[in-house]
């Protein structure tokens, strides 16, 4: 009997399955330790809104019923929050699924997609899944090089992905830069603004990309409940885009794609006026603490507009990761982002941040 890989579609042979890294349970079992401080996945350490938890508890006995396939109540809440028509909102299993829908809806084999390096994993996966060319533009000074990205666009470009704030580097492109970039974009491609971390961005120069949606421009603004809203385990995200783009995505959307618990928790979260304030306050305090500690150790870092910080530890990041893990702290290595001596660390609770710094000082001999 032959191998099923002999039957595999050619377009997906270059896809490398996403690796989230070791879970805390795996690390504890492997090393025989009782506690792990996980600062690897950019999760919100405060957890979800109490209103979201209560909504899920009240719904638990009703999960035998299929969810609303149109996510109507959640869509209405999101449209009101973003000040866009309900017809422009598409809800998915995380913003990852919205990215997937964009590929399914618009990309033909032989088209091309433009995005920065290092990219968020779903961008090259989408290109490879659809048999499209990847036009990968290196980051410049830890930021998207929008001029070079615009130069790469031609009549075969269907999607341009711009992560802002930039995962994994935490930087932003500004409103003025975005305006110049959008002025160069043809009607034949869609600019996808991936704003998974938008709630943490406090730079006054951060762009209002929803303005382009309201103007009917060829773009999509993607956001998620996984980060500041702390619902990563439920997988619920959304996008706002002109109605003609939304119609195409709804044609390729899977039936009942967002489960009933996820919808209920997201709806309840939108009704909690304190959730984002709590999350942002904790993040800002943690950011200031980490900056001060890195400066005291003489380590270069990238000022962030997100809930993680990139720091140059001056040694092989994989080796540093292993040494930190043995002390019960997990982070993200930088070699996968083309930065072999850097780590990406999630901003956690104060005690998590302090534990990371203690472990890092021990590893680097900076006690």
pLDDT in tens, 188-199: 999 999 999 999
Same domain, 223 and 292: no
The single-letter DSSP state of residue 254 is P
* Tens digit of each residue's pLDDT (9 = 90 or more) over 241-271: 999 999 999 999 999 999 999 999 999 999 9
End of a domain among 270, 293, 310? Answer: 270
Distance CA(125)–CA(236), nearest Å, equals: 20
The CATH number for 241's domain is 3.40.640.10
Contact between residue 240 and residue 82 where contact means Cβ atoms under 8 Å apart: yes
Distance CA(127)–CA(104), nearest Å, equals: 10
The CATH number for 16's domain is 3.90.1150.10
Same domain, 10 and 113: no
What local confidence, expressed as pLDDT, does residue 9 receive?
81
- Domain hosting residue 144, numbered range: 50-270
Contact between residue 160 and residue 189 where contact means Cβ atoms under 8 Å apart: yes
Distance CA(54)–CA(264), nearest Å, equals: 10
Same domain, 89 and 123: yes
Same domain, 184 and 227: yes
pTM of the prediction? 0.93
Contact between residue 44 and residue 307 where contact means Cβ atoms under 8 Å apart: yes
**In the block, residue with structure tokens 């603490």:** 289
Sign of CA dihedral 192, 98, 138, 341: positive
CA atoms within 13 A of residue 104's CA, in its CB half-sphere: 15
Same domain, 65 and 170: yes
Tell me which H or E stretch contains 89: strand 89-92
What local confidence, expressed as pLDDT, does residue 367 receive?
57
Structure tokens at 210: 């929803």
End of a domain among 270, 304, 325? Answer: 270
End of a domain among 240, 270, 300? Answer: 270
Q: Which residues of the chain have pLDDT under 50?
A: none
Same domain, 172 and 31: no
Structure tokens at 89: 């909102």
What local confidence, expressed as pLDDT, does residue 251 receive?
96
Same domain, 112 and 203: yes
Same domain, 260 and 128: yes
Task: Name the 3-class secondary structure at 132.
Answer: coil
**Any residues with CB less than 8 A from the CB of 94 and at least 6 apart, and which?**
224, 226, 235, 236, 237
Contact between residue 200 and residue 167 where contact means Cβ atoms under 8 Å apart: no
Same domain, 345 and 219: no
Contact between residue 97 and residue 255 where contact means Cβ atoms under 8 Å apart: no
* Tens digit of each residue's pLDDT (9 = 90 or more) over 337-367: 999 999 999 999 999 999 999 999 999 987 5
Same domain, 69 and 18: no
**Any residues with CB less than 8 A from the CB of 282 and at least 6 apart, and which?**
45, 46, 347, 349
The percentage of residues in the chain with a pLDDT greater than 70, rounded to a whole number, is 95
Same domain, 216 and 356: no
What local confidence, expressed as pLDDT, does residue 46 receive?
97
**In the block, residue with structure tokens 């997100």:** 306
What local confidence, expressed as pLDDT, does residue 120 receive?
94
The count of structural domains within the chain is 2
Same domain, 318 and 353: yes
Which of 75, 125, 84, 315 minimizes the C-alpha distance to 211? 84
Structure tokens at 72: 């109507």
Structure tokens at 197: 């971390």
């Amino acid at each position: 009997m032959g191998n099923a890989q002999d039957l595999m579609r050619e377009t997906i042979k270059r896809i490398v399955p996403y690796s989230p890294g070791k879970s805390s349970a795996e690390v504890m079992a492997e090393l025989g330790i009782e506690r792990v401080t996980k600062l690897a996945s950019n999760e919100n350490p405060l957890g979800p809104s109490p209103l979201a938890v209560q909504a899920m508890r009240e719904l638990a006995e009703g999960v035998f019923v299929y969810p609303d396939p149109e996510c109507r109540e959640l869509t209405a809440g999101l449209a009101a929050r973003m000040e866009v028509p309900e017809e422009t909102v598409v809800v998915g299993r995380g913003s990852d699924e919205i990215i997937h829908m964009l590929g399914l809806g618009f990309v033909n084999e032989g088209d091309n997609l433009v995005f920065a390096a290092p990219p968020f994993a779903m961008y090259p996966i989408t290109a490879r899944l659809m048999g499209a060319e990847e036009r990968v533009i290196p980051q410049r000074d830890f930021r998207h090089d929008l001029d070079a990205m615009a130069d790469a666009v031609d009549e075969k470009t269907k999607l341009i992905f711009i992560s802002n704030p930039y995962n994994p580097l935490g930087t932003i492109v500004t409103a003025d830069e975005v305006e110049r970039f959008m002025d160069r974009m043809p009607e034949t491609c869609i600019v996808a603004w991936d704003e998974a971390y938008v709630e943490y961005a406090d730079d006054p120069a951060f762009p209002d990309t929803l303005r382009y949606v309201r103007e009917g421009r060829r773009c999509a603004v993607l956001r998620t409940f996984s980060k500041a809203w702390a619902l990563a385990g439920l997988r619920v995200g959304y996008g706002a885009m002109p109605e003609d783009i939304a119609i195409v995505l709804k044609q390729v959307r899977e039936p009942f794609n967002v489960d009933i618990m996820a919808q209920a928790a997201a709806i309840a979260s939108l009704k909690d006026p304190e959730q984002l304030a709590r999350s942002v306050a904790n993040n800002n305090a943690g950011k200031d603490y980490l900056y001060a500690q890195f400066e005291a150790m003489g380590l270069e870092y990238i000022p962030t507009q997100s809930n993680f910080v990139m720091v140059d530890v001056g040694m092989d990041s994989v080796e540093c990761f292993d040494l930190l893990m043995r002390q019960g702290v997990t982070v993200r290595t930088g070699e996968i982002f083309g930065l072999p001596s850097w780590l990406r660390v999630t901003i956690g609770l104060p005690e998590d941040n302090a534990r990371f710094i203690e472990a890092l000082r021990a590893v680097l001999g900076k006690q």
